[in-house]
Amino acid sequence: MKFFIDTANLDEIKKAASFGFLDGVTTNPSLMAREGVSHQDDHIKAICALTAGPVSAEVLATDTPAMIEEGRHLAGLAPNVAVKLPLTMEGLAATSVLAEDGLKVNLTLVFSPLQALLAAKAGAAFVSPFVGRLDDVGHDGLELVEQIMTIYGNYGFETEVIVASVRSPQHVLKSALLGADIATIPFNIIRQLAGHPLTDKGVAAFLADHAQAAQAVK
């Protein structure tokens, strides 16, 4: 399973890369705005320099010709840019053109299995079901992931499933059990994945025992 970080914060990306298991980055206009970025080109280039993995850069255009133009522009910023488009009819039409160009497209804001089926048929490299936002409105976000994995397995689609809108370690665990290809995870949750109170307690006990033994031989 690949781990992407869901952020546009350069320090978080650097820190996550230093852990040794960062496979890519996803951004969106809200994450860019959170970093005070209004013109994303230079920021996308800076992120792409921090990882060899795919960096999803989202278009702001909403009609197909403008999405294609903006997508081609974003893809020209660095070789590891994946063009992120919303899963609308316009986004699907743009995806098939960009995929024909040989570009990687991440179809985002996916909330139904049929949207994900269309994404695969349009030739998207990635599809991003938003589990947290579905949970927020009383649905089961992980059930969507399960349905997408089943459909893609039935037909051998190669589109990779990025579990997005991750809110907890449980989302990551259950996505891994379902065989999702990728989870894109906010930095605070990456930290939670590694932490366990019994690990901290164990380290403290080992150090205390060692200090006691060292004291005894003095």
Residues marked active site are found at 84
Place of tokens 């994946």: 82
Residue span 90-109 as binding mask against ligand E4P, x where in contact by CB under 6 A, dash where not: ------------------x-
Give the footprint of ligand E4P on residues 28-87 (CB under 6 A).
28
Closest approach, Cβ 210 to ligand E4P, in A, equals 42
CA-to-CA separations, 142 to 5, 148, 188, 205, 213, in angstroms, rounded: 19, 10, 20, 38, 49
Hey, how many other C-beta atoms are within 10 angstroms of the C-beta on 101?
12
Q: What is the DSSP letter of 53?
A: S
Select 28 or 159, whichever has its Cβ closest to ligand E4P: 28
Angle between helices 141-155 and 169-178 in degrees, nearest 10: 20
Is there a contact between 110 and 95 (Cβ–Cβ < 8 Å)? no
User: Total binding residues for ligand E4P by CB under 6 A?
Assistant: 11
Closest approach, Cβ 104 to ligand E4P, in A, equals 14
Place of tokens 């449980």: 170
Q: Contact with ligand E4P (CB under 6 A): which of 159, 165, 180, 182?
A: 165
Residue span 4-23 as binding mask against ligand E4P, x where in contact by CB under 6 A, dash where not: --x-----------------
List residues binding ligand E4P (CB under 6 A): 6, 26, 28, 108, 128, 130, 132-133, 164-165, 184
